[in-house]
């Protein structure tokens, strides 16, 4: 039996036509992840659970960076 979700079937998509449309969309998500990771790296001394936050930022599509910005940046603050 042939599986329908073959990797080689991805070639059937016309990537060049899709790329200009989908690239800005992916760039936005990527920027969000990048800002979160850079902030995490620069404050790596004061943050707790760095490894878990890294995984969360990378794996949870859009909620991850947002949660990091809201909750994750709290413990470094002193006031």
Partner 1 sequence: MNSLGVLMKKEYSQVLRDFKVIWLPLVFVFLGATQPIMTYYLPVILEVLGGTQGISIDPTMIEQTGGQVLAATLGSQFDQLGIMIIVIAMMGLIQSDKSSGMLAFILTRPVTVSSYIGGKLVFNYLLVSVSVGIGYFISLLYIHFLFTSVELSQLIGALLCYLVWVLFSVSFITMLSAVLNSQALIAIVGIITLLICRMLVGLHPMLDAVNPAGMSQHAMNLLISGSIGANLSINLLVTIIWVLLTVIITHYWILQKKFHES
Does position 12 interact with partner 1 (CB under 8 A)? The reply is yes
31: part of which helix (H) or strand (E)? helix 15-42
Number of Cβ within 10 Å of residue 65's Cβ equals 25
Binding-residue total with partner 1 (CB under 8 A)? 27
Does position 21 interact with partner 1 (CB under 8 A)? The reply is yes
**Pick from 70, 36, 69: nearest CA to 54:** 36
Q: Which of 44, 46, 71, 75 binds partner 1 (CB under 8 A)?
A: 71
Choose the binding region for partner 1 from 26-34, 40-48, 52-60 (rule: CB under 8 A): 26-34
């Amino acid at each position: 039996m042939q599986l329908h979700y073959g990797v080689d079937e991805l070639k059937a998509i016309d990537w060049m036509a899709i790329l200009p449309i989908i690239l800005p969309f992916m760039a936005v998500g990527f920027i969000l992840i990048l800002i979160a990771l850079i902030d995490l790296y620069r404050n790596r001394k004061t943050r707790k659970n760095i490894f878990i936050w890294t995984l969360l930022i990378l794996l949870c599509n859009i909620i991850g960076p947002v949660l990091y910005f809201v909750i994750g940046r709290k413990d470094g603050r002193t006031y």
